[in-house]
A and B are shown apart, each in its own frame.
Chain A
């Protein structure tokens, strides 16, 4: 086993354990912390897949911004651990969805080759040009329309948030 396989195994164990802790922790803050850890493991996977830009954005956006807001909300509402409450709602539905996902993934795996399928962008090109440069070049030429649509969508969301927050002001 080479060093990157060992590293990958360790990180994936942490990822799975922390993902399980997100749903099993009684204390909402501990759940949120586990979710941050899961995001970190995802960022590590991106970095190992030669996608440093995705790794950095994963940490900045998910761990650094979205989770701060979630932790903030938990703190403001002062949700404490509910140790006695046991909830089994949606467990059957969860089992059904889980099995369907597993079968879908299995069918994709069974259909053909899943590894060593190099696309246009090889690790060599990433090393030469740089990952950020590659993403930027494609995003502002080939995918400019989806990019602009997303920005209009975000603008609408910001305007909506301001209107909701300032509704009571004359």
Chain B
């Protein structure tokens, strides 16, 4: 263990800190401007203009929103469970950011003669001559996703309000059911790759052999994963936990000021994370034209894919109405879960018959 932690040269630590800072700032900025983009995009889809007052084309709107929420009065309900009420927004926010530690956002670049893989939890092993990353990358992502539910459940329970509690209960039931289907939907991918490491998964898709079109099974798996992921992060049409028309604002009804803003940030950070993971697993990660010869291009491809998927998410929100609660549960347990199980079996049978992907 020591040679892994201490035996590495100084550049390793500098690169690590730099990568953490870059990824963190990138996610924060994306989160801030995703709110603006969502309002603009949905505005245009509904033939409205959207925010255009603060700054040129309303570009300073996220900053104005942030300042406004920051200066609002902080109200903690008298009958709430104080500790759980205070930690719930943090518990919601932290796992969303932690997931990014395992996501490869670019290929390996060379800085002053040193090879630096653009992935936080990875380093270039000179002895083995390859990039070593988290051996259980996919499982780490699933583990962090499964923790996201606590923030919402705690918020719902601690507020001591019926709307919050109903929102929290719905959230936990929904997230637990869809987590299963999402977890099973990515099994065909690592059956084909033969590894749980995200670096290996991207490498298997290099040269436009992306899983979204490399076999019928992974195509369906990709769609399935994306739908389940939307349900897991409570986006429309699966936003039952905070259905305004029924539950006021669901689990965050009693929250105000910065704590409310943190739930909002958590929602958008989860959206970035989910889109990043879908892009990594099914859209080839940082792969694109000339990405192998010019590694500096690779982060741009990755960002473009993430932004495209985020746009689709907003598009879906503007298009599809909310599911009813029983429809949601039926869809999850009776349609998506059996389909993902069938995909695993089909991928296995096809592999046994000698067909893995169209690209061999």
Contact = CB atoms under 8 A, between A and B. Distances in A.
Contact of A75 (B135, B153, B196): B153
Contacts of A68: 146, 149-150, 153, 172, 176
Nearest to B148: A64
B266 interface: no
Nearest to A60: B143
Contacts of B64: none
Contacts of B6: 2-3
B84 A30 contact: yes
B147 to A, nearest CB: 6
A72 B146 contact: no
B198 to A, nearest CB: 13
A111 B179 CA distance: 46
Contacts of B173: 72
The SS class assigned to the A binding surface is helix
A131 B156 CA distance: 38
A60 B142 contact: yes
A57 B168 CA distance: 25
B153 A4 contact: no
Q: Which of B84, B128, B140, B146 has the most CB of A within 10 A?
A: B146
Contacts of A60: 139, 142-143, 146
A65 interface: yes
Interface string A68-79: 110110111000
B169 A71 contact: no
Given A29-B81, A63-B146, A71-B150, A2 B2 contact: yes
Nearest to B91: A33
Contacts of B156: 75
Interface residues of B, number: 36
For the residues of B in contact with A, the DSSP-based class is helix
B146 A75 contact: no
Interface string A111-153: 0000000000001000110111100000000000000000000
Interface stretch (A9-17, A45-53, A89-97): A45-53
Contacts of A63: 143, 146-147
Interface in B161-209: 165, 168-169, 172-173, 176, 179, 195-197
Interface in B86-105: 87
B1 A59 contact: no
Nearest to A75: B157
21 contacts: A29-B84, A30-B81, A36-B150, A53-B135, A56-B142, A56-B143, A60-B139, A60-B142, A63-B147, A64-B143, A65-B146, A68-B146, A68-B150, A68-B153, A72-B169, A74-B157, A75-B165, A75-B172, A127-B132, A130-B135, A131-B136
Interface of B: 1-2, 5-6, 81, 83-84, 87, 128, 132, 134-136, 139-140, 142-143, 146-147, 149-150, 153-154, 156-158, 165, 168-169, 172-173, 176, 179, 195-197
Given A56-B143, A75-B172, A130-B195, 18 more contacts: A2-B6, A29-B84, A29-B158, A30-B81, A30-B83, A33-B154, A52-B134, A56-B140, A60-B143, A60-B146, A68-B153, A68-B176, A75-B157, A75-B168, A75-B169, A76-B169, A128-B128, A132-B135
Top 7 A-B residue pairs of the complex, sorted by shortest distance between their CB atoms: A64-B146, A56-B139, A59-B143, A56-B136, A60-B143, A52-B136, A130-B135
